[in-house]
Each structure stands twice: as C-alpha cells, then as structure tokens.
Structure 1
Amino acid sequence: MSSQQPTPASDANPIQPLKIGVLGFGGLGQAASRVLAPKREMIWVAAADKQGYAYNPEGLNPDECIQIYRDRGSLGHLEPGGVLAHDSIAELLARAPQVDGYFLALPNLPNTFMASVVRQFIASGWRGVLVDALKRTSALEQMLALRDELAEAGIVYMSGCGATPGLLTAAAAIAAQSYAEIHEVKITFGVGIANWDAYRATIREDIAHMSGYDVDTAMAMSDAEVEALLDRTDGKITLENMEHADDIMLELAGICPRDRVTVGGVVDTRNPKKPLSTNVRITGRTFEGKQSSHTFTLGDETSMAANVCGPAFGYLKAGIALHRRGLYGLYTAAEVMPQFVR
C-alpha cells in the first residue's frame, strides 16, 4: 500500500483567483484591501469612492491606493487605473463587468443608501455576489424587499456579514442548537480606535444609535460637532438596545423572536485598546428542562476591521459557491456558513 498522501483537489486542480471589488474606501474599505492582499483565492481588482474609482484586472496595490486616497482624496487620481467619475459605481460596473463579487464597505447613511446601491447593480445587468456589513434592522428590511429582484437578476446578496451583525450572529445561531428554546441573545461589543477620523462614517452610524440622535441628526453633524460630542464623552460612545439587524436575522433563521435579541456596547474613539471584550451570550432551555448559557468571546487583540472584513470575505466566498450552483437571491449571516479564504 502506498504511503503517499492524496493531494487536495484544490491544489491538484488550481483555479483562477476570484476577482473582487470594494465599494467605499474609508477606514473599512482600506482595511479590506489589506485583508485581501495576502490571499491566493481572491485578488483585489476594483474599488470606488465618492469621486472616482480604480480598476486593474491584474490587481491593485493597497499601499499605493491608500496613499493616493489620503493625499488626494480619491482613488480616481491613481495612475494607472484611476478614473475620476461623477457616478463612480455605475461607471466602474460598466468598465469591469467581469468582477466576481463586491464588498459594500459603505456607510448606510442615509438609511436608504445601501438599497439604492443594490438597485444600481440590478439595473446594470451585472451578475455576481454582493456582501454588506450593514447594521440597522430597517436597512435589512429594505434588502428583504429586493429579494425577488435580486434572484431574477442572477445576484447573490449576503447581508449583515460583518462582526455584529455577522460573526456574532452566526455564533449565536450555532450555539442555539444546544437548546430547545432560546430565552435571550445578548450581544455586547467593545471597539477601540486610535482616532475617530479614520472611521468617520462608522462613528456617525454609531452616533445615530445614541439616545437623542437619529440617522438624520448624525448625517447633519459637521466634523467639529462630532468632535465636540466626543469631547463631552471623553471620546467614548455608549450604546444600549440598538436597532441592530442581528434581531431580524435570528428571527428569520427561526432561532428566536427578535424581541429576545439585544445589542449594545462601547466605542472608544481615542484608544485602540477595546474598552470591553466583545461577546455574545445565548441563554436557553435544554430538552432536559435545564437553563444554561453559552458565551462566545472575541479576542481583545482582534480589531473591528479584522472582525468585519474577515467574515465579509468568508461570506463572499460562500456566496460565490451558491452563485455557481445557480442559487440566487438574498441570504444572511445566520443562514449560511462562511468559507475561509486562503
């Protein structure tokens, strides 16, 4: 008998890396480009911001793109491959129809913005996979209304696939299997960033969840007003009972009613160290009638960007597998297992 180990099929029959785009090039989009850089199974070829886009079918260089964005305010200034554009997403779609999938690293301000972007993809005739890391329940409800249109367009849309909603929602769905009934899912997050300026859109979305604020208020705030608010709170944003799509995702997955899901946490905008550990606790009753809790805690050393971008690309890979099987439409992080991107 031969002692030779079988060669994994993926190595014996190498396939072309998936061509990936990133929409939005703020803090999250820039982090996404760095996450993709060492991957073999995905190559970052396209990105867009408000003023332009960059496209290179052989791959974009994260360091070059981040530097040009910081120096000149848009990827459209990149040479070669950059194009300044009034409608950057539409023009990028027309220029690069062969991109397999996009991570929508976009702020959902206003609350209808993400749905409007998705309608652009549907109208363009592009077929592929989209993944988002949106936060609000109401934003996901808008996506659910587009479910049939996405399926008809031949698009797989993976929604709520960041950290929360996303990684922690999926952990709750798995942990729930120990129980006959789920009494409570409690998500508590801690985020630490050295400077709020690196994640302006994300911080504004968080402010919109604060008591006395809403999406319109947060959108209307100037940078100076945001800084004044953070000065009053010592740079910390404390959030409770947030409108977070983890609730509808777990309800759609049949785990528990949405009113049993709570999300809250603390964002420190002046310190990269997390103010508290991020975790999800699932409490329920087993078939023997015992009440117990599972807790899944993220390592304090993992950043917000790592816990959002990693899962997003894992779900993007899973979405492409569905797409290749002819399964289109909308899925959430609580319905599909992500696939690790090598």
Structure 2
Amino acid sequence: MTSVQSPQPRAMTSRDAKTTPIQVGVLGFGGLGQAAAQVLAAKQEMRLVAVADRQGYLMNPAGVSLQDCIQAYRQHGSVGYGEPGGTLSQQSILDLVQAAPEVDGYFLALPNLPNTFMAAIAREVAASGWRGVLVDALKRTSAMAQILALQETLQAASITYLTGCGATPGLLTAAAVIAAQSYAEIHRVAITFGVGIANWEAYRATIREDIAHLPGYDVETARAMSDADVAALLDKTNGLLHLENMEHADDLMLELAGICPRDRVTVGGIVDTRNPKKPLSTNIQVTGRTFEGKMSTHTFTLGDETSMAANVCGPAFGYLKAGIQLYRRGLHGVFTAAEVMPQFVR
C-alpha cells in the first residue's frame, strides 16, 4: 500500500508543531465542513487557512475566520463572498489547491454523490501539481475501492492520501484493529451506530448518503431526490432511518489489514433526523477466539454526548496530522484508517 519516495522535508517534531501550525484546508462547507472549521478554531497545532464550496473559495495564510466563512455562506451561498481572500469559481477546488501551494493538507468534507465523486476529486488534485496530504471520511466500500485504485497515481503525485478516516469507517475501524490483538482469530466485527441531529437540512448530503442504503434506494436515486422528497420520506418514518447491512468500507479496511474476511463485518444503525439525542449508543463488538481456545467479545462504546460531527471531524484531523508525518518522511500513496494510528491534535 505504500512506497518510499525521495526524502521530503524532515519529520515534524513536537517543537515544530508548537511554533509552526499545520496549514489546513477544508473542502466542502455544508454541515460537516462547518463542524470541521469549528473543531479547528480551538486547535493550536493546526490553522484553517483555506475553505472551498461549490461556488467559490476563501483563503488567508494568516488564518480564515470561522464567523466570516459562516456569514458569507449563509448570506450569499458561498464562502467565495467572504473577505479577505474570497473568490468565486465554478471549479473552486482545483483553483484553490493551485492558488494555495502552502497548504499542508485538506480534509475532504464532501458528499460522495455520485459514488465516483471523491475519486474524481483525488485525480483532479493529483493532476494539479499540488503536494501534501488529503483525508476523507468515505463510507461506501465501492467508493473506497476507487481511491485504492489510485495508489500509483497519488504516489507519483507526491500525495499522501488517508481514506475512511471518520467515525465509521475510521474511529471504530481503528478500535477494531486494536481490539483484535487479544485474539488468535476474529469471528465477527459488528458496528452499530446511533446518530441524532436536530435538523436534517444541516446535513443534507450525509442524510442522502444514508438514504442510499435503504431498501429500494441507491446512490443515484438518493442524489436525485429533492429536499421536498427527502422531507416526505422522513415524514413517513417519523424522522428515523433504520439502516442494516450497509455497504460500509469498514469491511474492506479490516480485510486489507488482515483482521478478518470482509463477510464477517457488519454495519448498521439508526439515524434520528429530528432529535439531537442519539437513538442508541454507538458501539463496536469484536468477537474472537483466544490462543487458549476461549470465545470472547470486546465492546467499545462511544459516549452518547459525542456528536456525529465530533466523532468524524476529530479523527479526520488526527489522521491528517499523522498523514503530515508520513508525508514529511517521504511516504506517499494511499493509506486506510486501519493502517495508521491517528495523532491527537492539540
């Protein structure tokens, strides 16, 4: 999965992190992108310097104001209207990465609709000449397979790409890797999540991606739904989405990591689109046989008070920090969240 290239600048040390914040960009400024910007606002080791949405981008090497971004986006529909550094563009991502070569890494807080979208963005960035770290929070196995197929392309472009770095896949997948160490053989990995949001419109793309997992729906039908269509569906379900046996890339990541065959991994849960309280506790259960021949199950449960945004954005930036370290050691190409330990961002 990795290959050593010619040496890049030396690896970051803790002293470097204190004196020179990592320059970070966020691609996408919907619900997840705005939450990502809020997470960065409290960090010392990372500085948000670039943001892009569909219609424009905003960049400032001294740091982008969260409030300016939100105000421009809500009042005018794009961060491109923000000042200083706002620019309107119909190819905002490409224009931004070319205009800001100093950005160390980007979190792709983008909806993967259609299912080829994230891979297309990765190819576009690779062809732009920009070098650095990209991190995504992809969900679908088929979408991640497309990213993995870009291994040689991203490696040749001197890009370190970390995929599946949200909550699930991501945080819970990494927990499964650690939990698996107690066993000689893994029999089952079961991920069950509960998500509560007060208003689905704050996470429109995420909800559409979830709808695509329902019986009778797929990515294209979910993508084609109008907001009114989504609202009508949620009215029928009392705002709840019950998701079972999802096509989630945890299975591919754990198989690639040698933990277990993908058919032993299941992912499902409940999304409440009308209440911030989780309908159930998010957890992962790893069942296996020890070397003594005993069967047992490890369970890791996330605190109910942690939001979807906290459990996605926190790990994403932890993996971005780890990716910066890999990049500066000359390690380029594609890594999954099951291969790399995230680094805590202070």
Q: TM-score, normalised by structure 1?
A: 0.96
Q: Which amino acid aligns with 1:19?
A: Q
Give the match for residue 41 of structure 1.
45
Match of 1:284 among 285, 288, 301: 288
Match of 1:106 among 95, 107, 110: 110
Give the match for residue 326 of structure 1.
330
1:210 and 2:175 aligned: no
CA distance, structure 1, for counterparts of residue 251 and residue 15 of structure 2: 40
Q: TM-score, normalised by structure 2?
A: 0.95
CA displacement, residues 244-289 of structure 1 (integer Å, 9 cap, x when unaligned): 0000000000000000000000000000000000000000000000
Query: CA shift at 1:328, angstroms?
Result: 0.6
CA distance, structure 1, for counterparts of residue 54 and residue 88 of structure 2: 9
CA displacement, residues 70-99 of structure 1 (integer Å, 9 cap, x when unaligned): 111100110221111011011111210110
Match of 1:30 among 20, 34, 38: 34
Query: CA shift at 1:236, angstroms?
Result: 0.5
Q: Structure 1: state its 5+ residue gaps.
A: 1-8
Q: Which amino acid aligns with 2:64?
A: L
Q: Which has the higher contact order (CA 8 A, sep 6+)?
A: 2
1:185 and 2:189 aligned: yes
Q: Which amino acid aligns with 2:309?
A: A
Query: CA shift at 1:15, angstroms?
Result: 3.2
Identical-residue share of aligned pairs (%): 74
- How do residues 84-103 of structure 1 correspond to structure 2 at under 5 angstroms? 84-103=88-107
- How do residues 10-21 of structure 1 correspond to structure 2 at under 5 angstroms? 10-11=14-15, 14-21=18-25
Query: CA shift at 1:14, angstroms?
Result: 4.2
Query: CA shift at 1:17, angstroms?
Result: 0.5
Q: Which amino acid aligns with 2:121?
A: V
Q: Which amino acid aligns with 1:157?
A: Y
1:51 and 2:55 aligned: yes
CA distance, structure 2, for counterparts of residue 137 and residue 44 of structure 1: 30
Give the match for residue 342 of structure 2.
338
Number of aligned residue pairs: give it.
334
SS in 1 for 2:192: strand
Q: Structure 2: state its 5+ residue gaps.
A: 1-12
Give the match for residue 146 of structure 2.
142
Q: Which amino acid aligns with 1:328?
A: H
Give the match for residue 311 of structure 1.
315
Q: Does structure 1 conserve the Cα–Cα contact (< 8 Å) formed by 2:17 and 2:45?
A: no
- How do residues 289-304 of structure 1 correspond to structure 2 at under 5 angstroms? 289-304=293-308
Give the match for residue 272 of structure 1.
276
Q: Please, what is the CA RMSD of the aligned residues?
A: 1.0
Q: Which amino acid aligns with 1:320?
A: I
CA distance, structure 1, for counterparts of residue 130 and residue 68 of structure 2: 28
Q: Which amino acid aligns with 1:289?
A: G
CA displacement, residues 301-336 of structure 1 (integer Å, 9 cap, x when unaligned): 000000000000000000000000001110001000
